[in-house]
Structure 1
Amino acid sequence: MAIHYDIIIIGGGPGGYTAALKAASLGLKTAIVEKEKLGGTCVNKGCIPTKSLLHAASKFKELQNCDEFGVSTDFISFDFKKMQHYKKNSVKSYRKGISDLIEAENITVITGTAVIRRNKTVEVSGPEGKDFYSADHLIIATGAKCAIPDIPGVDLPGVLTSERLLASDTWNYDRLLVIGGGVIGVEFATIFSALCSNVTILEQKDHLLGPMDLEVSQALEEELKQRGITVHCLANVKEIKEEEEHGLACVFEMNGQEQVIRTSQILIAAGRIPCIDELLGEDVSLEVENGRLKVNSEFQTSEPGIYAIGDVASDILLAHVAAAQGTYVVEKIAGIEHTIRLSVVPNGMFVKLPVVPSCIYTEPEIASVGITRELAIANNMNVRCGRYSMRSNGKSIITSRQNGFIHLVFEEYSGTLVGAQIVCPRATDMISEMATAIANGLTAKQLRLAMRAHPTYSEGITEAIENYFETKGEAKQ
């Protein structure tokens, strides 16, 4: 007979473990099924290891360019194997923290591959065979995996996914070609450029970062080029070939002409696709749309009592989105008031604003929340913007990092903040203030009341707010 739980969560990533911790804190008998390690892709193969390498690479780059600060060094080098060891320790430390929390809440962790059967039963194939479990509610949080485009030669040695590259501890990246100019592609380009690789990005669309604000994308592209990274947009990859003398050759078409790039390694960064293979048994059918599990506004699938959160169902593939959705679903199941907002419709408006911060850990960092000016106009909103160039910011001058800007988007009549785009150091930390403001419907006048310390990058927010008032013809106070 199957062991019964109030909630079984399939997948131990940010969405899964956050949902489990919330459920256990509410007194629900909870189990997580995870086939690999707790933490999922984010902790083990994505966010944490990538940002660890970014941090290590940025340290090396800083030391190479520290003479202007009066710091001299005779010899600078890096040890890629030690960098990877540092990355692995970061991952282990983070994962241990998750495991300790799970253990403290008496959450059952079931190791194995899950298959959903009828009547909300889960068949788990583990190291010791098959077992069956049942629950009142199932939450699917199986995440996503690297998408492999249909390109001849994509399976050749030296053509890597981000997961394989992160697992490598030997240096063979003097030349790196990145296929895909999204978040994953530009972050890895930043890492390896800082480590003196000759890096090229091929992007199929007309600008980097896909749905990101065009001005932000253009600023990033300019910064990457200044760092020696070659960027080709509107590049359509045709074939990857192995060459005896040069390693790999990538054939692509751009502006109607066929071109060839020769390189040591190729990173495939063409996005991610949901992990739903072999998830459903023959006696269960869940509706799928565009490759994702289809859910309603409450994250319920086509089967009552079965929910899906995070990358397996969402069109926003971010760890904190999965975690927020996990919390939301558990609170719905428990019948309590929601403690988190996923979107908001400010008073007097008819546009739903996402309150999900999007962060890119390049140099400078990029962060955004809400909607852009272009999207606001497309939704027939009258908006007015406040802008500030970080070139005049005191902290930027001190750190010699003056590239970047802050762009705030306000609804014209009420002055309510509806969007923010920040390009500067610490942008990924600063965006939280803007997310809080949008979630609570704060106006420019209310944001103006807050005092921001000097000297900080955050002072730029104050200046952008003042610029908004100046464009309205109001005197600076």
Structure 2
Amino acid sequence: MNNKFDLLIIGAGPGGYVAAKKAAKLGMSVVIIEKGPIGGTCINRGCIPMKALLRASTLYREILGCGKYGLYADDAGYDLQDMIEYKNQATREMRENLEEEFKELGIQSVQGTATVMSGKQVRVTFEDGSSSFYFGNKILIATGSKERRLDIPGADLPGVMTSEALMTSGGNKYHSLIVLGGGVTGLETATVFRNLGAKVTIIEVSDHLIPRIDSEFSDELERLMRAHGVEIYKGSMSERITRDEEGVCCEFVCAEGTKRVHAEALLMSVGRIPNTDGLFAPEVPIKMDHGKILVDEFFRTSVPGIYAVGDVTGGIQLAHVASAQGTYVVEKMNDLTPSVIVSMVPSCLFTPISIVPSCLYTEPEIASVGLTETQAREKGVQIRVGRYDMKGNGQQIISRETGGFIKVIFAANSDVLLGAQIMCARATDMIGELATALANGLTSTQLMYAMRAHPTFNEAISCAVENSRDNIKE
């Protein structure tokens, strides 16, 4: 058996499997090592199962409210176990498609725990305790991240779970749920259980939900979630968790003093940390900082021939970022001009800005790319802001959606797009157009060249761009 490869990848999540496919297509011999099923957290315990449950729960909520369309479904209900099976089927199909691609491309997949040794050797320990050694002319680390737990009393009590545990469990029909953390995962989970009729309480340490997004969007999302019965406490510090016959209780301190909230279960969604435990043998001199692997601008580690991408480097924790970085690394390995970038310097700025789209699958969806209005003003950039309220959009009216708007930010002098934020149904699909415009330095004039079909949510982009031009003197 040949255990020597041009490229050895540790981690079969979005960073690893995309890099593996790219390398194989470029003629490299590739082995990819993964402790669990291929697909990593994203396919098996994160993005895909979460979006499947969001889809199912949203459809259920829409069925209950179908009277606004002149439809009636008096006997509507749901079977949680059937929903779980639907979610599991989605992950299986994703894995099976990947496995088929690996076979077609000649990528060898190995399931086991990898430890990087000296001399670019990797020891793989299998479930039965046996081990084998593999060699990679180049090694790419893409082991992702793992969930962080708050170090507070009661964090390990029954009924306290992480999102990954929730996504891989058999499912419980919780009638009440506490969510610690008002970030992406916490809010998406809250949306699922709210759609299924549970009483949901969100406890967030920051002074607003999703701290990194435009505050106007965060405020609107909070208003809509409260309108749907979600209880939200911001600026709150959790102190302890207890358990009694009713379930779990979280004690926290907020502006109103010390409060206690009871629920059947508690989701701890307070961020993720790089997954590097036991990854390197003691003799491997990889430079790290608080668990994250340090890399340069080309994703090279301190050991020649070893690269790292994705969450394990402590950067932006998004699946599509890891995939882009994996593609970039493989292309650089093969002396190709990289086909993907994650940041650029607009003509009006002296510093790079991210062109990575961020997406939140709540109701309505939120998507963002580039600078927010606040960030642009903090940089001292003169800007024009275009805004459009979705209440006037034809598709919004037809779909009976509520809330939401679009903001686009242009440099006042050069007219170059600097950022965009969207809050409406299909926002996560629509943001791609504006990410492409941002990456290519398009102006509001150029964005207006394109006709957008009617009636669509997407045509609202034209309205927002046009609004930004209202005060331009021709």
Q: Which residue of 1 aligns with 2:403?
A: 403
Q: Is the aligned partner of 1:121 residue 2:121?
A: yes
Q: Which residue of 2 aligns with 1:280?
A: 280
Q: Which residue of 1 aligns with 2:8?
A: 8
Q: Which residue of 2 aligns with 1:58?
A: 58
Kindly state the Cα deviation for residue 285 of structure 1 after the two structures are TM-superposed.
2.2
Q: Which residue of 2 aligns with 1:234?
A: 235
Kindly state the Cα deviation for residue 314 of structure 1 after the two structures are TM-superposed.
3.7
Letter in 1 for 2:394: G
1:15-45 per-residue CA deviation (whole Å, 9 max, x = no partner) reads 0000000000000111101111110000000
Aligned equivalents of 2:95, 2:390: Cα separation in 1? 36
Q: Which residue of 2 aligns with 1:324?
A: 324
Q: Which residue of 2 aligns with 1:243?
A: 244
Structure 1 moving runs of 4+ over 3 Å:
none
Question: Do 2:273 and 2:314's aligned partners in 1 also have CA atoms closer than 8 Å?
Answer: no
Q: Which residue of 2 aligns with 1:308?
A: 308
Q: Which residue of 2 aligns with 1:448?
A: 448
Q: Which residue of 2 aligns with 1:199?
A: 200
Q: Which residue of 1 aligns with 2:214?
A: 213
Letter in 2 for 1:271: G
Aligned equivalents of 2:217, 2:291: Cα separation in 1? 29
Question: Do 2:347 and 2:414's aligned partners in 1 also have CA atoms closer than 8 Å?
Answer: no
Q: Which residue of 1 aligns with 2:166?
A: 165
Question: Do 1:387 and 1:406's aligned partners in 2 also have CA atoms closer than 8 Å?
Answer: yes
| Structure 1 residue runs without a partner (length 5+) | none
Q: Which residue of 1 aligns with 2:393?
A: 393
Kindly state the Cα deviation for residue 282 of structure 1 after the two structures are TM-superposed.
1.2
Letter in 1 for 2:196: L
Aligned equivalents of 1:328, 1:13: Cα separation in 2? 16
Aligned equivalents of 2:469, 2:247: Cα separation in 1? 57
1:87-142 per-residue CA deviation (whole Å, 9 max, x = no partner) reads 00011011111111111100111111000011211111114611111112110000
Q: Which residue of 2 aligns with 1:289?
A: 289
Q: Is the aligned partner of 1:144 residue 2:165?
A: no
| Secondary structure in structure 2 of the residue aligned to 1:387 | strand
Kindly report the root-mean-square deviation, in angstroms, between the aligned alpha carbons of the 2 structures: 1.3
| Secondary structure in structure 2 of the residue aligned to 1:222 | helix
Aligned equivalents of 1:234, 1:109: Cα separation in 2? 46
1:418-446 per-residue CA deviation (whole Å, 9 max, x = no partner) reads 10000000000000000000111101000
Kindly state the Cα deviation for residue 165 of structure 1 after the two structures are TM-superposed.
1.2
| Secondary structure in structure 1 of the residue aligned to 2:133 | strand
TM-score normalised by L of structure 2: 0.98
Q: Which residue of 2 aligns with 1:175?
A: 176
Question: Do 1:351 and 1:379's aligned partners in 2 also have CA atoms closer than 8 Å?
Answer: no
Question: Do 2:80 and 2:173's aligned partners in 1 also have CA atoms closer than 8 Å?
Answer: no
347-356 vs 314-323, greater mean Cα deviation: 347-356
Letter in 2 for 1:94: M
Letter in 1 for 2:285: S
Aligned equivalents of 1:99, 1:137: Cα separation in 2? 23
| Secondary structure in structure 1 of the residue aligned to 2:470 | helix
1:298-322 per-residue CA deviation (whole Å, 9 max, x = no partner) reads 1111112111101101421110000
Kindly state the Cα deviation for residue 247 of structure 1 after the two structures are TM-superposed.
1.6
Letter in 2 for 1:109: S
Aligned equivalents of 2:40, 2:168: Cα separation in 1? 15
Q: Give matches, 1:328-367, under 5 Å.
A: 328-367=328-367
The sequence identity of aligned pairs, in percent, is 44
Aligned equivalents of 2:291, 2:386: Cα separation in 1? 39
Aligned equivalents of 2:3, 2:72: Cα separation in 1? 64
Kindly state the Cα deviation for residue 256 of structure 1 after the two structures are TM-superposed.
5.8
| Structure 2 residue runs without a partner (length 5+) | none
TM-score normalised by L of structure 1: 0.97
| Secondary structure in structure 1 of the residue aligned to 2:259 | strand
